[in-house]
């Protein structure tokens, strides 16, 4: 494999930090070309210095000033400002590889630009596929990009499909019977509906197995994250919704499974550490050392499995319904959830109101379900319409 120049979008986040950790272990194979951050400019300055990034991406002039104030000396990287710079840098001819690890639909334009420019795209930003699956997969195909899933479940499925994947992305795997996407069940796996009413952001963010950003941690608690992952799997592997099942597996050791028509089931196991999936995406088709330690099954003792509960976790049902319904419903699901989670983290709405916000938006925008979303503009328009609707709803039902 030739030397990789990596643009790390969302470097200051949980996935970004793990990505820089893996890259730093392989200076003979890869280097950081650019890092982006939306907040935490001190951390970004530190990362840019440590990785000797040539370009730094910041959201606005105020952030640029904070970055400069935090800069500790050494060769100052080029600073590019604004959202357009993210997409432009992802498509920069000097970049071979893009880690798309911005959170939420905000990461869609830059991930899409990387796909169109034919990069190796390490896709952590699942919201890009949820909101614009068809557009994104088409861009991958037309741009000749190499798409590597970074979500642990999808990396697991990719690894279990090795040897069976069609040469052309977007084509189905002939011998596949179903995908078994595992879910930890999050911190509230065994809580009753009544107990969920008073849940705080701190409790929702305390995931039993994985350490992640706050938004995805709440998504894991509501299991909306698993719903997004079902939609993500549908697009990544061209699998119809009827062939994608979720199985709750509290230990998070099996990261997902693939069942073939002959009855054979392949599973990928490992520690709950995203560096495994990141190293796989960076190194493919080779395997790279990731820094992840040994998996000690004997100490663990047992692996458990159970059915997901669609009553206690209505967000999972809403996501399945959206996927069955339309692309527009998926856009609305995602945007409404982003607002609802943000409002919950700001203590403006209660935990059990998150699915209510999503359901309200899906109901109100139901008429748009048949709308064809063939271009990014249509997706972004519906996304912002949903956000306004969700914000209004949250304001009315706010607790304080």
> Which residues sit at the interface with ligand NAD, rule CB under 6 A?
10-16, 37-39, 101-103, 106, 124-127, 151, 210, 212-213, 215-216, 274
- Residue with the CB atom nearest ligand NAD in the bound state: 13
Sequence-ordered list of residues with C-beta below 8 angstroms from that of 181, at least 6 positions apart, any chain: 153, 157, 226, 229, 230, 233, 244, 245, 246, 247, 256
Q: Of 63, 115, 120, 151, which lies in the binding site for Mg ion, with binding defined by CB under 5 A?
A: 151
- Which tokens hold the place of 125? 């930003």
Cα 267 to Cα 208, 258, 261, 274: the distances in Å are: 21, 7, 15, 17
| DSSP symbols for 260-299 | ETTS-EEEEE--S-THHHHHHHHHTTS----S-----HHH
Distance of alpha carbon 243 from alpha carbon 172, whole angstroms: 12
Strands 78-81 and 55-58: parallel
Q: Is 338 in the site for Mg ion (CB under 5 A)?
A: no
CB of 234 to Mg ion, least distance (A): 15
Distance of alpha carbon 186 from alpha carbon 183, whole angstroms: 8
Beta bridge partners of 99: 8, 122
Of the candidate spans 143-151, 181-189, 199-207, 302-310, the one that interacts with Mg ion by CB under 5 A turns out to be: 143-151
CB of 107 to ligand NAD, least distance (A): 6
Partner touching 39 among Mg ion, ligand NAD, none, CB below 5 to 8 Å by kind: ligand NAD
Q: Is 219 in the site for Mg ion (CB under 5 A)?
A: no
Confirm whether residue 168 is marked as ligand binding: no
Confirm whether residue 334 is marked as ligand binding: no
Confirm whether residue 26 is marked as ligand binding: no
Q: Which is nearer to ligand NAD, 39 or 84 (CB)?
A: 39
Confirm whether residue 126 is marked as ligand binding: yes
Partner touching 15 among Mg ion, ligand NAD, none, CB below 5 to 8 Å by kind: ligand NAD
Contact 217, 341 (CB under 8 A): no
Residue of 179, 142, 153, 134 whose CA lies nearest to 371: 134
CB of 363 to ligand NAD, least distance (A): 25
- 257, containing H or E segment: strand 254-260
Confirm whether residue 51 is marked as ligand binding: no
Q: Tokens 């230990």 — which residue? A: 251
Distance of alpha carbon 8 from alpha carbon 272, whole angstroms: 22
Partner touching 111 among ligand NAD, Mg ion, none, CB below 5 to 8 Å by kind: none
Residues in the chain: 400
Distance of alpha carbon 282 from alpha carbon 136, whole angstroms: 20
CB of 125 to ligand NAD, least distance (A): 4
Confirm whether residue 14 is marked as ligand binding: yes
Confirm whether residue 226 is marked as ligand binding: yes
Distance of alpha carbon 362 from alpha carbon 342, whole angstroms: 18
Q: Which is nearer to ligand NAD, 101 or 365 (CB)?
A: 101
Partner touching 14 among Mg ion, ligand NAD, none, CB below 5 to 8 Å by kind: ligand NAD
Partner touching 10 among Mg ion, ligand NAD, none, CB below 5 to 8 Å by kind: ligand NAD
Q: Tokens 């990731």 — which residue? A: 290
- Which tokens hold the place of 226? 């698993």
Q: Is 273 in the site for Mg ion (CB under 5 A)?
A: no
Size of the site for Mg ion (CB under 5 A): 3
Q: Is 92 in the site for Mg ion (CB under 5 A)?
A: no
Q: Which is nearer to ligand NAD, 123 or 357 (CB)?
A: 123
Of the candidate spans 146-154, 188-196, 335-343, 363-371, the one that interacts with Mg ion by CB under 5 A turns out to be: 146-154
Partner touching 310 among Mg ion, ligand NAD, none, CB below 5 to 8 Å by kind: none
Confirm whether residue 184 is marked as ligand binding: yes
Confirm whether residue 360 is marked as ligand binding: no
Q: Report the SS3 class of residue 247.
A: strand
- Indicate the annotated binding residues for Mn(2+): 151, 153, 229
- Indicate the annotated binding residues: 12-15, 125-127, 151-153, 184, 207, 213, 220, 225-226, 229
């Amino acid at each position: 494999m030739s030397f990789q120049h990596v643009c790390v979008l969302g470097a200051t986040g949980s996935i970004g930090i793990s990505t820089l950790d893996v890259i730093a272990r392989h200076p003979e194979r890869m280097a950081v070309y650019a890092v982006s951050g939306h907040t935490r400019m001190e951390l970004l300055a530190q990362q840019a210095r440590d990785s000797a990034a040539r370009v730094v991406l910041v959201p606005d002039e105020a952030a640029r000033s904070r970055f400069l104030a935090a800069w500790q000396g050494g060769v100052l990287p080029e600073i590019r400002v604004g959202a357009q710079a993210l997409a432009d840098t992802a498509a920069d001819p000097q970049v071979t590889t893009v880690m798309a690890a911005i959170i939420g639909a905000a990461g869609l334009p830059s991930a899409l630009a990387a796909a169109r420019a034919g990069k190796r795209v390490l896709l952590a930003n699942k919201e890009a596929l949820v909101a614009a699956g068809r557009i994104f997969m088409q861009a991958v195909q037309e741009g000749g990009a190499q798409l590597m899933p970074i979500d642990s479940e999808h990396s697991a499925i990719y690894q279990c499909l090795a040897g069976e994947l069609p040469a052309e992305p977007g084509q189905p795997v002939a011998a596949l019977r179903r995908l078994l996407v595992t879910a930890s069940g999050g911190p509230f796996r065994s809580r009753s509906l009544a107990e969920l009413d008073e849940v705080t952001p701190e409790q929702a963010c305390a995931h039993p197995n994985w350490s992640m950003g706050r938004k995805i941690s709440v998504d894991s608690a509501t299991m909306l994250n698993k719903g997004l992952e079902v939609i993500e799997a549908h697009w990544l592997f061209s699998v119809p919704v009827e062939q994608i099942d979720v199985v709750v597996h509290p230990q998070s050791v099996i990261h997902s499974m693939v069942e073939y028509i002959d009855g054979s089931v392949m599973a990928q196991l490992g520690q709950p550490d995203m560096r495994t999936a990141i190293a796989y995406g960076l190194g493919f088709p080779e395997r790279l050392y990731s820094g992840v330690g040994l998996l000690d099954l004997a100490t663990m003792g047992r692996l458990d499995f159970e059915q997901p509960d669609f009553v206690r976790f209505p967000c999972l049902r809403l996501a399945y319904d959206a996927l069955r319904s339309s692309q527009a419903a998926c856009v609305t699901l995602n945007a409404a959830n982003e607002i609802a989670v943000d409002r919950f983290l700001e203590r403006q709405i209660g935990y059990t109101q998150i699915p209510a916000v999503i359901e309200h938006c899906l109901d109100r925008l139901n008429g748009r379900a048949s709308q064809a979303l063939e271009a990014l503009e249509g997706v972004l328009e519906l996304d912002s319409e949903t956000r306004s609707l969700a914000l209004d709803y949250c304001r009315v039902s706010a607790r304080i």
